[in-house]
Structure 1
Amino acid sequence: MNSPIFNVLTIAGSDSGGGAGIQADLKAFSALGAYGASVITALTAQNTRGVTAIHAPDAGFVTAQLDAVFDDIRIDAVKIGMLANASIVRAVAEALRRHQPPRVVLDTVMISKSNHALLAPEAVAALRDELLPLAGIVTPNLPEAAALLGVAPATDEAAMVEQGEALRALGAQAVLMKGGHLGSDDSPDWLVEAGGTLRLGGPRVPVTNTHGTGCTLSSAIAALWPQRGDLAPAVSEAKQYLTSALEASARLDVGHGVGPVHHFWRWW
């Protein structure tokens, strides 16, 4: 008997360069055997060199997209990425409360690789207060975790775990603290759940094509969580998938700046 194909929804911004946002999400879903649907929260004029413009739709249109998907399609997991402003954050939170999808992965997208703000400052509080309590797992990097908590970024693994616990106290069921900003030889992440903590080690891959890594990891978790049943094995496998996508990224020749990872390394 064939395994079921799960439906996964990305709620995120569009990257016209194709390396991050909903484009990366849909690629990761497909590469990992899930069917992808999308709700677009922002349009970005973007390439491998940076973001030159952002257009955010009216929050009511975001709600219309969400209701259209949930009213017709069984959604097994949701990945949330760029939300642009507080009105859209609240619209997404209201829709999640109405439709109650079984698994929610919240990627706290705030700043692009080119240091362009992707979330209005006043929206950070809305993200923390409205969406964190609805998340099955939140996946911040160290600056994002610090911004949500109003503290300095963690500089060691003990502080990473401490901040992960603090984010759980704000309502998230689980937190994946991503250690890419530590600057160590490896790239350790910490999964913080109610039942304890799990260190997920991994090599620091020395490549320049790192655009869309956060989007890809959170999307991989969303695609694998329904398939694996439990969160920890889904997170571990998602991290391995991203590592391989980074290692294969040199095969791509996309743009003149920070290029994308290779989502389809298994197939191409």
Structure 2
Amino acid sequence: MVKVDEETLFIARYVTGGILGGMILLCMLFYLINLTGDYKSIQSIAFLVSIFGMIGSTACWTIYQFTDPFYYIHITIANFILSSAVCGYFVILIYNAYEICLKVDFIMITLTILPLLASGFIPVYISFTRYFGVKDNIDLKIVDYFNAILDVLVYANTNYICYRRFYEYKNNEVMDKLLFQYKVGIITVLMMDAILCSLTFVFVDRTLFYYNLTSIVMIGLTMEYFLLCRLRKHVMYLIQEA
């Protein structure tokens, strides 16, 4: 970890926050111009809920750095509630894969998702206990880093399983191109995740960490929605035609 001066940290926060804000606005534009399909579909609703959850979570961490420590517990609770909306990402993921994956696949996916969801409660629990005067030696930054690693593992594991199942239906040029796009997309997202995680390990700042973590989820959400959805529809068409 590297200690940096406040000015550098300020710039890093707002460059990262600006990129994240741009990504959120772009996804909102996709929804508004109907690129996400039927507004009332499960996927579109989950996509929209996730976007608003990310907006709220980002706002909480932006406010956090300017707020009196007395209000940290309130911001932590609000952030926990809002960030829970990002679970819409998992709704889209499962919706895309449930007709393709086997029962054992969902067990493997669940085994990686549950630790991530459980670890998300730890910062809130610690914040509550500290608010009521309970002493502890837990470094929340370590918990944050653990969450980031789990998030990347969930993404990698789930997409590997989905890719393996989709590959079974590789029987024409269109499917071949889609699978190639999917493979390139997975690798690109994992590389971006690795870069963002590296930044969180280098700079000792929780606000910057959460900007980066939300960016990771945002990239994964967009990938799942626009590419994995196309693959699922094409594979289901092939199955019905068979």
For the criterion TM > 0.5, the same-fold answer is: no
Give the number of the structure whose residues are more often helix, by fraction: 2
TM-score by length of 2: 0.28
TM-score (norm 1): 0.26
